[in-house]
Amino acid sequence: MQTTQDEPRRTIRSRRRVAAVVVCLGVLFLLHESGALELSKPAWSVGMCAGTSPFVLDCSAGDNPVLTARDVTDMRAAFVADPFMIHDVDRYFMFFEVMDSTTGRARIGLATSTTGSAWEYRRIVLTEPFTLSYPYVFTWEGHYYMLPETHQANAVRLYRAAEFPDRWTFVRSLVAGRPLNDPSIVRVDNRWWLFAGERDDTLRLYHADSLTGPWVEHPRSPIVSGDPTRARPGGRLLQIGGRLFRMAQRDRPVYGSQVRVFEVEVLSTSDYKETERPESPILGATGRGWNKAGMHNVDFHQTAERRWLACVDGYRWERTVRLRWPFSRAR
């Protein structure tokens, strides 16, 4: 029979166990917040959507996702995201971010399709000592250009195809000295305009007479400040019938939850104004499947009158327990 003298010892042991649990939970929390401990990870993949309007897209048809990390054959990929595509003669060329699961540094991959629905992975086409993503491809004066995100280089860097679509060479930095995200470029009224995010809550605007510059910052820039729900670019700038539309990621309450669309109503070297479209958001979490948790990038292409094709990305969460070194947060 235990005596009352055992009660203090049991109380002390109980308190020690509680304290140990609290300490362990605290350590796990700090490791998770620092990026050292990964309890779950976003599984990004690429899909295709279609519709009679660029702002009313159906992503449920077809065999989505059309590209995943498992399709990458020349490196060990963690995910694929940020797709952009170009149609040339009888073939679609899609460029996208491929995250290297070994180094934690992203590269640019290439896939091709004859129909726009079934895609074949080709290879990695652009690698740098820093992360590359958001490969915004476009044509100008008979040349193919790419303006990927290169924020780790503290610059917006322009590339040109030496041999399309497989070989790309660096041309020059359009904007230097800022770690800008998702640079999106468009030519309007014989002038180039560049929208680029800073962190997740600020949007800066630049303009130039020539593609290679010099580029100057707009006097109203930043045109979005302190708003992570609409600052960061979310895909190709769209021109329809003389009107310009800007895609934006919604990064709250979580990163990459939706794609919103804004019509640019005033764009001049002295002024800027935009208004959100009533169809916005045009993409978002579906609650199931490959894009269950969110979507954050879209690139539109008109294939016929009242017929649009778009490459998009989306993600779902995968359960995992993994220690990461060096510490780095997932995208």
Are 314 and 240 part of one and the same domain? yes
| Residue 329: predicted pLDDT | 45
Q: Calculate the CA 309 to chain-centre distance.
A: 19
Q: Which of 14-28, 35-49, 126-140, 226-240 has the lowest mean pLDDT?
A: 14-28
Check whether 188 has a pLDDT greater than 60. Answer: yes
- Summarised one tens digit per residue, pLDDT across range 31-50 is 445 555 445 678 999 999 99
| Residue 318: predicted pLDDT | 82
Its sign, for the CA torsion 319, 325, 328, 331, is: negative
The domain containing residue 7 runs over which residues? 1-34
Q: What value does the mean pLDDT take over residues 8-26?
A: 68
Are 85 and 181 part of one and the same domain? yes
Parallel, antiparallel, or unpaired for β 155-163 and 120-126? unpaired
Count CB-CB contacts under 10 A for residue 139: 12
- Any domain includes 329: no
| Residue 251: predicted pLDDT | 94
φ, ψ dihedrals at 185, nearest 5°? -120, 150
**H-assigned helices in 84-208:** none
Q: The tokens 């002295």 sit on which residue?
A: 270
| Residue 5: predicted pLDDT | 57
Are 89 and 171 part of one and the same domain? yes
pTM (whole model) above 0.75: yes
Q: Which of 1-15, 94-108, 111-125 has the lowest mean pLDDT?
A: 1-15
CATH number, domain containing residue 146: 2.115.10.20
Q: How confident is the model at residue 328 (pLDDT cuts 50, 70, 90)?
A: very low
- Any domain includes 328: no
d(CA 99, CA 41): 13
User: Number of folded domains in the chain?
Assistant: 2
